[in-house]
Amino acid sequence: MSKEVFKGKNIKIELENGVVISKDKLIIAGPCAIESYDQLFNTAKFVKSLGANVLRGGAYKPRTSPFSFQGLKEEGLEILKSVKKEVEIPVITELMDVRDLDRVYDVADIIQIGSRNMHNFSLLIEVGKQDKPVFLKRGMSATIKEWINAAEYIAMGGNTNIIMCERGIRTYNDYTRNTLDLAAVPIIKKETGLPVVVDPSHGTGIRELIRPMSLAAFAAGADGIMVEVHPDPENALSDGAQSLNFDEFEELIKSLKNGAM
Ligand code: PEP
Ligand code: MN
């Protein structure tokens, strides 16, 4: 396993709001998908008031079924841009297609590569040539080595500002949506020195598990968490079952502030 690409690079990513990854803990929160201006604005205001330092929101959604909501796409990016300015919070959003790179680059403070695209080497190479931090989600069936290889594809282009995101893998356990591999946190840190963020929302698919898995993520040494939050999860257009409502997010933050972070 090679860590030469990252060695001595001292990954230190400073966001517009002064947050320094991996010195400060990242709390990335927001809806799975951007559905409307009000939905994103209200969520952004709320999560920021509780200490979230990055807003998430998907405009391009890589849905398992082509019949599911595919995201608001360019309209979603416009909403994200306005909310980012209005609420003054850095934003992360997913890039699915290299043809959308300029559009996503224009809005995003951090560019997300989703689990399904971790093996999309041409996409990895292109985000490696631009200068915004890249949030690399682990492929749902990727080994640790394959995940590191994907990060190396990005780094090859010159961009070593990579945040690794453990988001669960497929195993024979079908009780949870994925099996959250928390041992990956110290392993990735040891092998690459890159910051690691845990996504317990996609990692479990079950909202009740988000708090215990977030606590466990920080105990394992994670540099942050990414959590889906929605004003009305029961009516969310995607991933409602794993999204926290505002009260639940507040409970999560209270638990984390109790010394876990
Ligand atoms: C997401 O975070 O919006 C997402 C689609 O997650 P993943 O790529 O991990 O499935
Ligand atoms: Mn989601």
We report the CATH number of the domain holding residue 219 as 3.20.20.70
The CB of 32 under 6 Å from ligand 1? The reply is yes
Beta strands (DSSP E) in 167-222 are 196-198
| Angle between helix 144-156 and helix 184-192 axes, rounded to 10 deg | 40
Nearest CA to ligand 1 atom 4: 114
The CB of 94 under 6 Å from ligand 1? The reply is yes
Sign of CA dihedral 105, 110, 114, 118: positive
Boundaries of domain holding 148? 13-260
Residue whose tokens read 């690794």:
164
Which of 33-65 are b and which e, b meaning 16 or more Cβ less than 10 Å from the residue's Cβ? bbbeeebbeebbebbbebebbbbbbbbbbebee
Structure tokens at 59: 């405009």
Q: List Cβ neighbours of 168 (8 Å cut-off, separation of 6 or more).
A: 138, 140, 176, 177, 178, 179, 180, 181, 199, 202, 203, 204
Residue 236 inside a domain? The answer is yes
The CB of 166 under 6 Å from ligand 1? The reply is no
The answer to pTM > 0.90 is yes
DSSP 23-38: TSPEEEEE-SB---HH
Q: List Cβ neighbours of 102 (8 Å cut-off, separation of 6 or more).
A: none
Count of CB atoms situated within 10 Å of the CB of 6 = 19
Q: In a mutational test of the pocket of ligand 1, which residue from 54, 167, 239 has the highest number of ligand atoms less than 8 Å from its CB?
A: 167
pLDDT of residue 11: 80
pLDDT of residue 3: 55
The pLDDT profile of the chain, 261 residues, written as one tens digit per residue, is: 455 677 656 688 999 999 999 899 999 999 999 999 999 999 999 999 999 999 999 999 999 999 999 999 999 999 999 999 999 999 999 999 999 999 999 999 999 999 999 999 999 999 999 999 999 999 999 999 999 999 999 999 999 999 999 999 999 999 999 999 999 999 999 999 999 999 999 999 999 999 999 999 999 999 999 999 999 999 999 999 999 999 999 999 999 998 778
Q: In a mutational test of the pocket of ligand 1, which residue from 68, 202, 225 has the highest number of ligand atoms less than 8 Å from its CB?
A: 202
Residues whose beta carbons lie less than 5 angstroms from ion ligand 2: 32, 239
Q: List Cβ neighbours of 146 (8 Å cut-off, separation of 6 or more).
A: 118, 119, 139
pLDDT of residue 2: 54
Residue 7 inside a domain? The answer is no
When computed from its CA atoms, the radius of gyration of the chain, rounded to whole angstroms, is: 17
Residue 116 CA: nearest ligand 1 atom is 8
pLDDT of residue 261: 80
Sign of CA dihedral 190, 105, 14, 58: negative
Ligand 2 centroid to Cα of residue 58, in Å, is 8
**Backbone phi and psi for residue 236, each to the nearest 5 degrees, phi listed first:** -65, 150
| Angle between helix 210-219 and helix 246-255 axes, rounded to 10 deg | 30
Nearest CA to ligand 1 atom 6: 114
Rounded to the nearest 10 degrees, how much is the dihedral formed by the CA atoms of 148, 153, 158, 163? -40
Residue 160 inside a domain? The answer is yes
Element (DSSP H or E) covering residue 84: helix 74-87
Residue 173 inside a domain? The answer is yes
pLDDT of residue 1: 43
Number of domains, the chain: 1
